[in-house]
């Protein structure tokens, strides 16, 4: 598996992260087979969150991987906190500390390689985040920090107080949900695509050595469905299938390869729990689309150029 540097962390990570959000939907035996297939393919970076399955996904992963000190040395674990059932969001120092301790217990490990703040908290007090991160880092419970779904201004506000540099920002991005790309391409026009809905987050992350981790790489809209093999997107699927045939891979591979072709050096996060689909995602690490192919796919999705 091809690797990359995660932001400014110095961590060498696979270019595709294995998302574990849906692990609750499969059996323990299936989870074990899935994790083993990921590791056999060199995909050792696993993405979690305390709210995935209300913590059950983290527990299942620890069992599936057979967590031990020897195993822990061979894998990288990222988790997220900040979403609270019934209350919405909580970036208070107390909640962050309790959430991390709970995740560590479920994961049967003494530390997280990366902790992300999950969704923005309108009531965030940056000083409390800084206090929590400082405690966690000093105790060796979290080695690197980042955010998820956060704007450039929110990141700047947090970084004014937080001593550790953020290394990742997990954001929704796909061929059919590419506002952060289309805003730049259509700037200085009166096209609706030119409206900057993301605060320039793509270039901000590039300028500040923050790795963008695209989530839902096959979705269109906001959880409206997948675009692959969807009759709503005939031109896009025809183009993707054409390019997939050229490289001898699946359409899944091409959709991930489209994200990896961007020079921002993104790390897409998968969502499947099927070993064969995961293998198709991971094959994208060996495909480099041409400039022409990248733009052909972009346009086939209904995106426009000025």
φ, ψ (nearest 5 deg) of residue 108:
55, 45
Q: What is the mean pLDDT of residues 271-288?
A: 98
pLDDT greater than 90 at residue 224: no
Entry pTM: 0.96
pLDDT for 44 equals 98
Q: What is the mean pLDDT of residues 208-222?
A: 95
CA distance 7 to 209: 5
**Residue appearing with tokens 């309790």:** 98
Query: Where does the pLDDT of residue 69 fall: very low under 50, low under 70, confident under 90, or very high at 90 and above?
Result: very high
Q: C-alpha distances in angstroms, 109 versus 72, 86, 124, 134, 207?
A: 7, 28, 28, 19, 33
Where are the domains positioned within the chain? 3-226+265-287
pLDDT for 76 equals 98
Q: C-alpha distances in angstroms, 288 versus 11, 69, 173, 214?
A: 23, 36, 18, 18
pLDDT for 221 equals 83
% of the chain with per-residue pLDDT over 90? 98
pLDDT for 75 equals 98
Neighbours of 211 (CB within 10 A): 26
pLDDT greater than 90 at residue 223: no
| pLDDT tens digits for range 87-97 | 899 999 999 99
CATH class of 3-226+265-287: alpha beta
Burial class of 199 by CB neighbour count within 10 A (0 to 12, 13 to 18, 19+):
middle
Cβ–Cβ < 8 Å for 264, 202 = yes
Neighbours of 143 (CB within 10 A): 18
Burial class of 3 by CB neighbour count within 10 A (0 to 12, 13 to 18, 19+):
middle
Q: Which residues pair with 83 in a beta bridge?
A: 89
CA distance 187 to 199: 13
Cβ–Cβ < 8 Å for 240, 255 = yes
Residues 6+ away with beta carbon under 8 Å from 153: 199
| pLDDT tens digits for range 191-210 | 999 999 999 999 999 999 99
């Amino acid at each position: 598996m091809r690797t990359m540097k995660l932001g400014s962390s110095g961590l060498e990570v696979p270019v595709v992260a294995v998302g574990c959000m849906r692990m609750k939907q499969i059996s323990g035996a299936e989870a074990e087979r899935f994790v083993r297939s990921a590791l056999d393919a060199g995909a050792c970076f696993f993405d979690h969150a305390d709210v995935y399955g209300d913590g059950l996904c983290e527990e299942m992963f620890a069992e599936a991987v057979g967590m031990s000190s020897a195993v822990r040395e061979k894998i990288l674990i990222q988790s997220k906190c900040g979403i609270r059932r019934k209350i919405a969001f909580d970036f208070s120092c107390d909640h962050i500390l309790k959430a991390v301790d709970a995740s560590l217990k479920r994961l049967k490990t003494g530390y997280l390689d990366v902790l992300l703040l999950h969704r923005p908290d309108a009531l965030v007090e940056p000083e409390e985040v800084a206090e929590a991160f400082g405690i966690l880092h000093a105790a060796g419970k979290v080695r690197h920090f980042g955010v998820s779904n956060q704007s450039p201004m929110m990141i700047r506000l947090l970084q004014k107080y937080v001593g550790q540099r953020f290394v990742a920002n997990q954001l929704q991005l796909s061929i059919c949900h590419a506002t952060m790309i289309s805003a730049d391409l259509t700037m200085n026009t009166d096209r609706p695509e030119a409206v900057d809905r993301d605060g320039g987050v793509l270039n901000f992350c590039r300028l500040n050595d923050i790795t963008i981790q695209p989530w839902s790489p096959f979705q269109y809209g906001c959880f409206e469905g997948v675009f692959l093999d969807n009759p709503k997107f005939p031109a896009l699927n025809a183009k993707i299938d054409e390019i997939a045939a050229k490289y001898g891979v699946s359409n899944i591979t091409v959709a991930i390869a489209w994200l990896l072709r961007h020079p921002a050096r993104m790390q897409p996060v998968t969502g499947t729990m099927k070993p064969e689909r995961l293998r198709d995602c991971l094959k994208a690490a060996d495909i480099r689309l041409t400039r022409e192919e990248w733009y052909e796919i972009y346009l086939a999705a209904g995106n426009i150029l000025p």
